[in-house]
Amino acid sequence: MQREIVLDTETTGLNAKGGDRLIEIGCVELINRIPTGREYHVYINPERDVPSEAEAIHGLSTQFLLDKPLFKDVAESFVEFIGQDDLVIHNAAFDVGFLNAELERINLDKIVMNRVVDTLQLAKRKHPAGPNNLDALCKRYGIDNSQRIKHGALMDSLLLADVYIELLGERQATLVLADTASRQSAERRSNRSMHDAAMRPAPLPSRIAPEQKAAHRAFVETLGAKALWVKYLGPV
């Protein structure tokens, strides 16, 4: 079983080392590249104002975040959710930089990059002409992103999960596996139904008329005593 976590964040700005902070984390769990429905989502009080230019991108205001938990209050649940599994992130250096800055502030282990799959790098290798932002990739692969009016960590993680499967070229393989599993399940049900069918309380009566049996016996007797059919005639 392969577990991966698709992850996205929103922040107050672009500089994790210059005072900008995390304000939202969204995660989606994949098992064998299939979303399980398990998600992790939290808004975070950044303990500072949200600049208007950042708010214009994600729609999260200083006022909205005032009553949200601090990162130190959600860190344990976040770390527990992601475990030690691979993280799938678009433009990973940005998100990991902010996550590690927050983890470092409260003396928790930082995320190492060798557990991170950067879908932006995957997209650049597969589509070198670009563009390779999330909206462009959704359009390329026919993924409905009509609800993505503004950036949002959980919404973007859900979209990125679909994009990730397309980038790996595993969408068709997943559909084939699902179809095969469905057929096998139907066959098992069919075999079980045949196996469980009730036996007849008595054999069906023979449909061969007495005169037909007599004609057959007379014919076999003409074949001689050594004929194979003779031993199957039985008593008259």
Residues catalogued as catalytic? 151
- 223 membership: H or E segment, kind and range: none
* Alpha carbon 36 to chain centroid, angstroms: 6
Please state, in angstroms and rounded to a whole number, the distance separating the CA atoms of residues 5 and 82.
6
Please state, in angstroms and rounded to a whole number, the distance separating the CA atoms of residues 149 and 152.
9
Amino acid sitting at position 219 = F
Please state, in angstroms and rounded to a whole number, the distance separating the CA atoms of residues 215 and 23.
95
User: Where do we find the tokens 């009016």?
Assistant: 149
Residue 160 CB neighbours (<10 A): 24
What Å distances lie between residue 122 and 156, 157, 212, CA to CA? 17, 16, 78
Q: Where are the alpha helices (DSSP H) in 22-152?
A: 52-58, 62-65, 71-82, 92-105, 119-126, 134-140
Please state, in angstroms and rounded to a whole number, the distance separating the CA atoms of residues 236 and 197.
36
In our burial notation (b when 16+ CB lie closer than 10 A, e otherwise), range 47-57 reads eeebeeebbee
State whether residue 26 is helix, strand or coil. Answer: strand
